[in-house]
Amino acid sequence: MIQPLPIIAEPSKPRKPRPRLGVFKFASCDGCQLSLLDCEDQLLDVAEKVEIAFFREATRRPLEGTFDVALVEGSISNSEQEAAIRDVRARSRFLVCLGACASHGGIQALRNQSKSEELIRIVYADPSTIELLDQSHPASAYVPVDLELPGCPINKDQLIEVLAWTLAGARPMIHRHALCLECKRRGLVCVLVARGEPCLGPATSTGCGAICMSYDRPCFGCYGPAEKPNASALAARLAELGAAPDAIRRLFQTFYATAPDFQKASRIHDGTRV
């Protein structure tokens, strides 16, 4: 029999004001914010534990006061957003970037490789209404960031974990090892080895729970680089397996195009440019 431990701190003190949570959107598709609404069963727990003080997708409350936790979605793409991210930082104690846009500029950072004026001319009927920074930037280019959650979009379980740990006063543990570790823990069969599929798992951060492989599909890198990946060696292996240079370039240049390791891997072939 395992003996119960005596409790150290009394759990039920008089109710303190709940921590204030703000959810902020910049240049993005809203997918990461929606992960929060997607928490369904746990959403009531969230609302019980924190005061959702600002969240345009869920409440009409105006932006005012300070925040214990700020969840930031989206990249900084124009000067208005540049001012806004500084304002959010000034109001917030713990600032968490949600997803590829906020941490790396996102898919829209593909434009960083071209001239913005040219793209604006091609895309918009009336370019005069468009004001853009020359690149799509991560929040960290402007303000200090406390934590970046990977993914396009993020994994709601990781978000809950971040909130649970933060509310408990501990630093959340977000692992950044290669996805392969998670793939193998789940007992999935490697699609690269068993079928020759171009899987980015060995260079990609864990976080998704190895969803794609559980549907027999290779990873396409939507959680960005793992901690210290050897992405170029993976790119070389994919080429050996028959992936065309252009396919390899696209694989490493989609969700985390600005990540230096993925940029380098995308350039392993002569004749292709980033």
Partner 1 sequence: MSGGPATGHAVIDKSEIETLIQGLWKSGYTVVGPTIAQSAIVIDEIKSAADLPIGWTDLQEGGSYRLKKRDDQAYFGYAVGPHSWKKYLFPARLTLYTIKKNAAELEIIAPDPAPRYAFLGVRGCDLRAIEVQDRTFLQGAYVDPHYKARREQALVIAVNCAQAASTCFCTSMGTGPRARGGYDLALTEFADRFLVEVGSERGQGVLASLASRPAVQADLVLADNQARATAESMTRTLDVSDMPGLFYENLDHPRWDQVAERCLSCTNCTMVCPTCFCHSVDDVPDLAGETSQRVRVWDSCFNPEFSHVAGGNTRPQIRERYRQWLTHKLASWVDQFGVSGCVGCGRCITWCPVGIDLTEETAAIRGRLEA
Residues at the interface with ligand SF4 (CB under 6 A): 179-180, 183-184, 190-192, 199, 201-202, 213, 218-219
3-state secondary structure of 10: coil
CA-wise closest residue to 21 among 53, 64, 46: 53
**Phi and psi of 190, rounded to 5°?**
-65, 120
* Distance of closest approach, residue 70 Cβ to partner 1, in angstroms: 18
For residue 10, the tally of other CB atoms under 10 A from its CB is 6
CB of 72 within 8 A of CB of 98?
yes
14 scored as a contact of partner 1 (CB under 8 A): no
Q: How far is the CB of 185 from partner 1 (least distance, A)?
A: 4
Q: Which two tokens stand for residue 13?
A: 């003190």
Residue 230, interface with partner 1 (CB under 8 A)? yes
* Positive or negative: CA dihedral 47, 48, 49, 54: positive
For the bound state, the minimum distance from the C-beta of residue 166 to ligand SF4, rounded and expressed in Å, comes to: 29
The two structure tokens encoding residue 101: 């846009």
205 binds partner 1 (CB under 8 A): no
Q: For the packed helices 231-240 and 245-252, what is the interaxial angle rounded to 10 degrees? A: 150
Distance CA 266, CA 224 (A): 13
C-alpha 36/C-alpha 65 separation (Å) is 22
* Contact residue for partner 1 among 69, 107, 152, 192 (CB under 8 A): 192
CB of 257 to ligand SF4, least distance (A): 20
Closest separation between CB of residue 98 and ligand SF4, Å? 23
Tell me if residue 75 falls in helix, strand or coil.
Answer: strand
x/- letters, 23..62, toward partner 1 (CB under 8 A): -------------------x--xx-xx-------------
Positions in 231-260 near partner 1 (CB under 8 A): 233-234, 237
Interface of this chain with partner 1, residues 206 to 225, rule: CB under 8 A: 216
- Choose, by CB under 8 A, the member of 40, 60, 173, 270 that binds partner 1: 173
Report in angstroms how near the CB of residue 39 gets to partner 1 at its nearest: 9
Partner whose binding site includes residue 219, from partner 1, ligand SF4, none (CB under 5 to 8 Å by kind): ligand SF4
